[in-house]
């Protein structure tokens, strides 16, 4: 999706005009993929823009940095304040928010200078990640030939820049084959996740989703859906899922900050249930939209007003 420039980007504690937000071409993170980031969304509410689960996102960013031996030079509260200020000053009601920590210009090599941590935060308008048609009718997935990163290769629990080459290969392959996204498997053949979203199956009214131990990112939208589903009285099980089990699901949907909640219409040309938006998917998506729109007091704790 094309970027829409906004007036300011936060860089190392300063507000910088969009076109001036630059780093050196010899920044080690550009060469070796050593950086961590987050994807966050702000939503329009009746009382102004609100950022969804901001503190949880900042905590995950710090966890990712810890995995990669990076010490963030700002506290969680400073980063929360920076995000809220950036949303306000750019005048957005709804937007996507991208904090990133990377290694600044300095030494070069595969053992980088880990104390040269820089940070930036950008915000911009971003609509439906998989497109309006996928939102309305369900997305079409294909199982990728590329395996999901395992815990023994690149740590999947950390949201690292270089690790997303794995996701990009799967996504590009799916798009070139005419699909909306890819479904990635583990080395043992179990379902992990889509290229940049977690997966849920619905069978007999109950939800199943792969466990974090199968190499999935511990998604914040995933966690939100699990909480909301259980609050609705739905059974949710986290367990390994063989590939063929996906084909016989009554419904399936993807979750993620960018994707939000998107129904899955088919996998490998096999329609799931009646296709489109299933009843459980619709129930959860409707609730999610009420929550992020500030229309459900029971989850007001998840919103940080800008």
Whether 55 shows a pLDDT value over 80: the answer reads yes
pTM over 0.85: yes
The Cα–Cα gap between 282 and 263 comes to: 8
110-138 pLDDT per residue, tens:
888 888 899 999 999 988 888 889 999 99
- Please check whether residues 84 and 166 belong to one and the same domain: no
Place of tokens 């939102």: 135
Q: Which of 22, 118, 133, 159 is catalytic?
A: 159
- Please check whether residues 163 and 198 belong to one and the same domain: yes
The Cα–Cα gap between 293 and 306 comes to: 13
Chain mean pLDDT for the chain: 96
- Please check whether residues 146 and 218 belong to one and the same domain: yes
Considering the domain boundaries, does residue 299 fall inside one? no
With beta carbons less than 8 A apart as the criterion, state whether 207 and 234 touch: yes
215-268 pLDDT per residue, tens:
999 999 999 999 999 999 999 999 999 999 999 999 999 999 999 999 999 999
- Please check whether residues 21 and 93 belong to one and the same domain: yes
Considering the domain boundaries, does residue 165 fall inside one? yes
* pLDDT score at 127: 87
* pLDDT score at 301: 97
Considering the domain boundaries, does residue 111 fall inside one? yes
**Domains identified in the chain, total number:** 2
- Please check whether residues 103 and 119 belong to one and the same domain: yes
Whether 1 shows a pLDDT value over 80: the answer reads no
Could you list the residue range(s) of the whole structural domain that residue 224 is in? 132-292
- Please check whether residues 106 and 188 belong to one and the same domain: no
Evaluate the CA torsion angle 247, 248, 251, 254 in order and state its sign. negative
Q: Which of 96, 124, 152 is the C-terminal boundary of a domain?
A: 124
Considering the domain boundaries, does residue 138 fall inside one? yes
Query: What whole-number percentage of the chain has pLDDT above 70?
Result: 100
- Please check whether residues 39 and 154 belong to one and the same domain: no
160-187: average pLDDT? 97
* pLDDT score at 299: 98
Place of tokens 């629990």: 157
Whether 179 shows a pLDDT value over 90: the answer reads yes
Q: Is 159 a catalytic residue?
A: yes
- Please check whether residues 181 and 212 belong to one and the same domain: yes
173-183: average pLDDT? 98
Whether 20 shows a pLDDT value over 80: the answer reads yes
* pLDDT score at 108: 86
Q: What is the CATH number of the domain that holds 243?
A: 3.20.10.10
- Please check whether residues 175 and 251 belong to one and the same domain: yes
- Please check whether residues 220 and 253 belong to one and the same domain: yes
Written as six digits, the tokens of 227 are 């909480």
Q: Using CA atoms in the order 9, 12, 13, 19, what is the torsion angle rounded to 10 degrees?
A: -20
């Amino acid at each position: 999706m094309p970027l829409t420039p906004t007036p300011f980007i936060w860089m190392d504690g300063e507000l910088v005009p969009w076109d001036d937000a630059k780093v050196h071409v010899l920044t080690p993170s550009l060469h070796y993929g050593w950086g961590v980031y987050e994807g966050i969304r702000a939503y329009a509410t009746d009382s102004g823009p609100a950022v969804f689960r901001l503190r949880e996102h900042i905590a995950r960013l710090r966890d990712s940095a810890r995995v990669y031996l990076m010490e963030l030079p700002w506290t969680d509260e400073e980063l929360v304040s920076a995000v809220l200020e950036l949303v306000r000053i750019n005048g957005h009601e709804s937007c996507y928010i991208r904090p990133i920590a990377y290694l600044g210009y300095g030494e070069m090599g595969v053992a980088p200078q880990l104390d040269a941590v820089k940070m930036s935060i950008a915000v911009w308008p971003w609509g439906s990640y998989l497109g309006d048609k996928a939102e309305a009718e369900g997305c079409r997935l294909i199982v990728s030939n590329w395996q999901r990163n395992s815990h023994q290769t690149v740590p999947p629990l950390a949201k690292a820049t270089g690790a997303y080459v794995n996701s990009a290969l799967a996504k590009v392959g799916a798009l070139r084959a005419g699909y909306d996204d890819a479904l990635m498997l583990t080395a043992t053949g179990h379902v992990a996740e889509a290229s940049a979203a977690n997966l849920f199956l619905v069978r007999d009214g109950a939800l199943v989703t792969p466990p974090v131990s199968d190499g999935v990112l511990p998604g914040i939208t995933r966690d939100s859906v699990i909480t909301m589903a259980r609050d609705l009285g739905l059974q949710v099980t986290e367990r390994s899922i063989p590939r063929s089990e996906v084909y016989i699901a009554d419904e399936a949907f993807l979750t993620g900050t960018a994707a939000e909640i998107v129904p899955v219409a088919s996998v490998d040309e096999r329609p799931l249930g009646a296709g489109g938006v299933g009843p459980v998917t619709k129930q959860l998506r409707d609730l999610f939209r009420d929550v992020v729109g500030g229309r459900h007091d029971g989850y007001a704790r998840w919103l940080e007003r800008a």
